[in-house]
Structure 1
Amino acid sequence: MGRNILKYGVIAGLVVAGGMWGTLLAFGKQMPHGWLGMALGYLSMLVALSAVFVGIKHHRDADRGGVIRFWPAFGLGLGISLVAAIFYVLAWELAQATVVGDFAGHYAASAIAQAKAGGADAAALAKLTAQMDEFRRQYADPLFRLPMTFAEVFPVGVLVSLVSAAVLRNPRVLPARG
């Protein structure tokens, strides 16, 4: 099972990291914020984490005789998701160090500009500016940034693992071909 976790976790990790780098190359230092950034990010995560489903199915069919219970399948999915999330964090750290630079600064400036364009009053802008200054300070700390980045992708992996384990515990769903 460990071999499957590593194999499919690396595949998912490379896909999610590739999605991140593809977005970086397409948009440059100004990563898309708001709904576009979220849509692109979570779409690439779902595509990458389809490796969870494939990994559980492969383990069920090749190693378990076509049958797997929910908890072992869920555990396998979590392991794959963990490896993928670690790849995602490492890819983001590499992007920060080489291409993105001051993500927190760009994000803060974008949020403030969006609030100004939306007609926010001076008090709301002052409050938002203070919040963004605090965010920039926190984001500079790796003990804040790394878990925050991990938490972007791992919950998606938990959800995909739950659904995959629930579906694939039924041996009649996509049965092994023999």
Structure 2
Amino acid sequence: MKNSIIKNGLLGGIVVSIVMLGMTFYMKANPECEPSMVIGFASMFLAFIFVILGIKQQREANNGVISFGKAFVTGLLISLTISTIYVIVWLIVYYNFFPDFIDQYSAMVLKNTKPEEIASKTAEMNQMKEWYKSPVMIILLTYMEILPIGILVSLIGAFILKKK
């Protein structure tokens, strides 16, 4: 089980991190262009295909039988591995290559905000800037980007692949 979790977690983490790196460096090189959230979330779903594969591999290792609970735990551990790799890569990129990310991101968001929403969006961006002063908050915010998708995929995968 550990081998399947580690292998699938690493592969999924590599997939999502490569796309994140590409989008981040594109944003850094082109501050006037907004990166595609569709591409970002699509890469997360693509990475979480490894959750499904890992659950299926675990089922096959157990002679075609896996309970919902065991399938969910397997998927959750793979999701946690993928998410942790994503967070670690983001921390490396942020602190070493893109320390002004939050300022550039805030400027881009405010530039694309409707005039009637500018006050609330400015307050939201100021809150994010405050959060980004703490490494713990950066870690939590980054986990909140990806881990909920992993939990959802783990639940769906466990439900579909469970077999008594």
Shared fold per TM-score greater than 0.5: yes
Partner residue in 1 for 2:5: 5
Structure 2: unaligned runs, 5 residues or longer: none
Structure 1: unaligned runs, 5 residues or longer: 172-178
| CA deviations over 1:67-115 (Å, ceiling 9, x no partner) | 1111100100000000110000011111112332211111211122122
The answer as to whether partners of 1:96 and 1:103 remain within 8 angstroms in 2 is yes
Change (3 A) 1:39 1:127: closer
Partner residue in 2 for 1:100: 98
Partner residue in 2 for 1:129: 122
Partner residue in 1 for 2:115: 119
* Cα shift at 1:127: 4.8
* Cα shift at 1:167: 1.1
Provide the C-alpha distance between the structure 1 equivalents of 2:119 and 2:153, rounded to a whole number of angstroms.
40
SS at 2:109 equivalent: helix
The answer as to whether partners of 1:15 and 1:48 remain within 8 angstroms in 2 is yes
Identity %: 33
Normalized against structure 1, the TM-score is what?
A: 0.82
The structure with the largest alpha-carbon Rg is 1
Pairs aligned (count): 163
Amino acid at match of 1:55: G
Provide the C-alpha distance between the structure 2 equivalents of 1:131 and 1:22, rounded to a whole number of angstroms.
26
Partner residue in 2 for 1:23: 23
* Cα shift at 1:132: 2.2
The answer as to whether partners of 1:78 and 1:161 remain within 8 angstroms in 2 is yes
The answer as to whether partners of 1:23 and 1:31 remain within 8 angstroms in 2 is no
SS at 1:93 equivalent: helix
**Structure 1 stretch 143-152 or stretch 23-32: which is displaced more?**
23-32
Partner residue in 2 for 1:163: 156
* Cα shift at 1:64: 0.1
Does residue 40 in structure 1 map to residue 39 in structure 2? yes
Change (3 A) 1:71 1:26: same
Provide the C-alpha distance between the structure 2 equivalents of 1:9 and 1:132, rounded to a whole number of angstroms.
32
Provide the C-alpha distance between the structure 1 equivalents of 2:124 and 2:24, rounded to a whole number of angstroms.
26
* Cα shift at 1:135: 1.9
The answer as to whether partners of 2:20 and 2:40 remain within 8 angstroms in 1 is yes
